[in-house]
Amino acid sequence: MAEMTAFTPTPETTRQLRDAYGRFATGVCIVTTHTPSGPIGMTANSFTSVSLDPPLVLWCPGKTSARTPHFTAASHFAIHVLCDEQAQIAKDFAKDGRAFSGIEITDGEGDVPLIANCAARFECETRQIHEAGDHLIQVGKVLRAMTSDKAPLIFCNGGFGDFSTG
């Protein structure tokens, strides 16, 4: 039988809790918005589709990120679901919110920068922001959606990979 490790979350087990969260395989997104000082983006795997009617999605910006106030102040933002060829931009936007050089962008709803060639994209209007510990939950109404047949980029156990249905 596979080995199981149980623990109670405490300040001493933060690393283990982070690793346990990381066992949940997710897609990878770049969330972008417009700021007075230009476009900004953040790599995020906290994206979740929430509601079809009305069309609502969420993501969770961390309170300690200097980029978060730009997103929570924004009337509009865009979620880009990355394809398996976009691992490098996921790494770039994890380090630098202004990592747009060499990336083709167009203006979307609310002047939000849109990145091309994603697996899917959701242009959103901010509806609610909820408190959630060291993160916030930003809920957006989807104004426009785009989808493609590109294979999604996957994040699991701290690493990037790809996925195909058998």
Ligand X SMILES: Cc1cc2nc3c(=O)[nH]c(=O)nc-3n(C[C@H](O)[C@H](O)[C@H](O)COP(=O)(O)O)c2cc1C
Q: What is the DSSP letter of 85?
A: T
- Inter-residue contact 44 to 30 (CB < 8 Å): yes
Residue 46 found at the interface with ligand X (CB under 6 A): yes
73-to-19, 36, 68, 154, 165 alpha-carbon distances in Å:
31, 11, 9, 29, 39
Rounded CA separation 109/133 (Å): 30
Task: Draw the binding track, 95-134, toward ligand X (x: CB under 6 A; -: no contact).
Answer: --x-------------------------------------
Residue closer to ligand X (CB basis): 65 or 128: 65
Q: Among 1-9, 40-48, 105-113, 144-152, which window interacts with ligand X (CB under 6 A)? A: 40-48
Q: Among 15-23, 57-65, 73-81, 104-112, which window interacts with ligand X (CB under 6 A)? A: 57-65
Q: What is the DSSP letter of 22?
A: T
Residue closer to ligand X (CB basis): 65 or 147: 65
Residue selected from 40, 58, 60, 79 as contacting ligand X according to rule CB under 6 A: 60
Q: What is the DSSP letter of 110?
A: G
Residue selected from 94, 129, 139, 146 as contacting ligand X according to rule CB under 6 A: 94
Closest approach, Cβ 80 to ligand X, in A, equals 13
* Chain position carrying tokens 């969420």: 58
Q: What is the DSSP letter of 54?
A: T
Residue 44 found at the interface with ligand X (CB under 6 A): yes
Rounded CA separation 113/105 (Å): 6
- Under the rule (CB under 6 A), what is the footprint of ligand X? 28, 42-46, 59-62, 65-67, 90, 94, 97, 155
